[in-house]
Copies of this chain bind each other. A is one copy, B any other.
Amino acid sequence: MMIHLEQLELDGGSGTDIHDVTGRVAAAVEASGVREGLVTVHAPGSTAGVTTIEYEPGVLADLRAALERLAPEGIAYAHDARWGDGNGYAHVRAALLGPSLSLPVVEGRPLLGAWQQVVVVDFDNRPRRRRVLIQVLGDQARP
């Protein structure tokens, strides 16, 4: 079994930044040489999540609006009352979205639909550089 790890750095912090990392995921799978296996994308930290979406501005705005209904920025959060961070909404959104995503690798590519992109959603409201890990695990082609 082969295990290959890559690290990205993403700049964000304006509140619910949505980064398309599909190209980076595909490149990591290709670099690994894995033909059949599993690729896991993980954003360490408690204010970001990973999912897939069609990366076009309309849907991205629609996703932000749904998250605003679920965990509005403007309401009171116990986290903010205790710690003064102002990012209680970000913690809640991240816990609900989930911090990682695993997809099958088939014939050397992450399995995705034609209009489906892998995104890291950075909910935080402070400028920050965020680390994202891409791990590819599986079998390489046999010679």
Footprint of B on A, CB under 8 Å? 1, 3, 5, 36-38, 40, 42, 44-46, 51-54, 56-59, 61-63, 66, 69-71, 77-83, 88, 91-92, 94-104, 106, 111-117, 119, 133, 135, 137-139
Q: Which 8 A-B pairs have the closest CB atoms?
A: A45-B113, A58-B78, A58-B79, A44-B113, A58-B82, A104-B135, A53-B95, A46-B54
Known interface pairs A38-B38, A71-B66; A100-B103 also in contact (CB < 8 Å):
yes
**This chain's copy number in the assembly:** 3
How many Å lie between the Cα of A63 and that of B102 in the bound state? 24
In the assembled complex, how far is the CB of residue A19 from the closest CB belonging to chain B, in whole angstroms?
A: 14
* Residue among B1, B38, B117 making CB contact with A139, cutoff 8 Å: B1
